[in-house]
């Protein structure tokens, strides 16, 4: 066998080398996994914020409509201090309470228990007695009266009801729980009634 000899070029110009190939710049698409995770987190955050804004707007609209209905009932009450108008106000408050709290806890409340619930949902510390001992006491007595007493504090009642309506919407946003007696506890309902 003949040993072929490899000839090596004597001069560098004789070497035939190809130019250096620079790799292409990396493409922006598809992005790395970290960017996908960041995008998913951002979409989740936007969704949560959007839902909270929508819920806040619904609560504010509900509060506004309730206050408008209450204003109409107050005018009726000032013109004709009748127990029927107080019954309508009581029904309005009960409907609003049923929208924010579980039906099984609210629907059966009457008289003193209903007024205690209104007090506790107005102030969870238990210090408020605006309904059970103040101007709101007439709401518990009205269904059993033929006519309202002359000393009924209609303006005080209006004031405490407006305070309760505004406060219940704030509590719904903050998700506070309310205990209205030693045996029962009421928490804002996760299932809201459709208005």
Number of H helices, E strands in the chain: 6, 0
Provide the β-strand partners of residue 178.
186
Q: What local confidence, expressed as pLDDT, does residue 10 receive?
A: 67
Which residues of the chain fall short of a pLDDT of 50?
175-195
Q: Terminal CA-to-CA distance of the chain, rounded, Å?
A: 102
Q: What local confidence, expressed as pLDDT, does residue 43 receive?
A: 98
Q: pTM, whole model, 2 decimals? A: 0.59
Do residues 105 and 97 make contact, with C-beta atoms less than 8 angstroms apart?
no
Q: What local confidence, expressed as pLDDT, does residue 192 receive?
A: 43
HEC readout, 184-195: CCECCCCCCCCC
Residues 83-120: tens digit of each pLDDT: 788 888 888 888 888 888 888 888 888 888 988 888 88
Q: What local confidence, expressed as pLDDT, does residue 191 receive?
A: 45
Angle 169-171-176 (CA atoms, 0-180°, nearest 5)?
Answer: 155
| Cβ contacts of 175-180, under 8 Å, gap ≥ 24 | 176/124, 177/124, 178/101, 178/117, 178/120, 178/121, 178/124, 179/120, 179/124, 180/113, 180/116, 180/117, 180/119, 180/120, 180/121
Q: What local confidence, expressed as pLDDT, does residue 31 receive?
A: 86
Residue 178's SS3 state is strand
In whole angstroms, give the CA distance from residue 136 to residue 139. 6
How many Cβ atoms from other residues are within 10 Å of residue 142's Cβ? 19
């Amino acid at each position: 066998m003949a040993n072929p000899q490899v000839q090596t070029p004597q001069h560098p110009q004789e070497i035939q080398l190809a130019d250096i190939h620079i790799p292409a710049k990396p493409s922006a698409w598809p992005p790395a996994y970290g960017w996908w995770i960041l995008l998913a987190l951002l979409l989740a955050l936007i969704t949560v914020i959007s839902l909270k804004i929508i819920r806040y707007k619904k609560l504010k609209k509900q509060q506004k409509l309730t206050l408008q209905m209450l204003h109409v009932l107050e005018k009726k009450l000032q013109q004709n201090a009748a127990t029927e108008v107080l019954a309508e106000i009581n029904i309005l408050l009960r409907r609003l309470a049923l929208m924010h709290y579980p039906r099984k806890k609210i629907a059966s409340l009457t008289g003193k228990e209903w007024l205690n619930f209104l007090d506790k949902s107005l102030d969870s510390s238990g210090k408020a007695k605006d309904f059970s001992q103040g101007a709101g006491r007439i709401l518990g007595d009205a269904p059993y009266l033929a006519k309202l007493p002359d000393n009924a504090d209609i303006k005080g009642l209006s004031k405490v009801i407006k305070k309760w309506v505004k406060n219940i919407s704030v509590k719904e946003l903050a998700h506070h729980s309310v205990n209205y007696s030693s045996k029962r506890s009421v928490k804002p309902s996760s299932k809201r009634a459709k208005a």
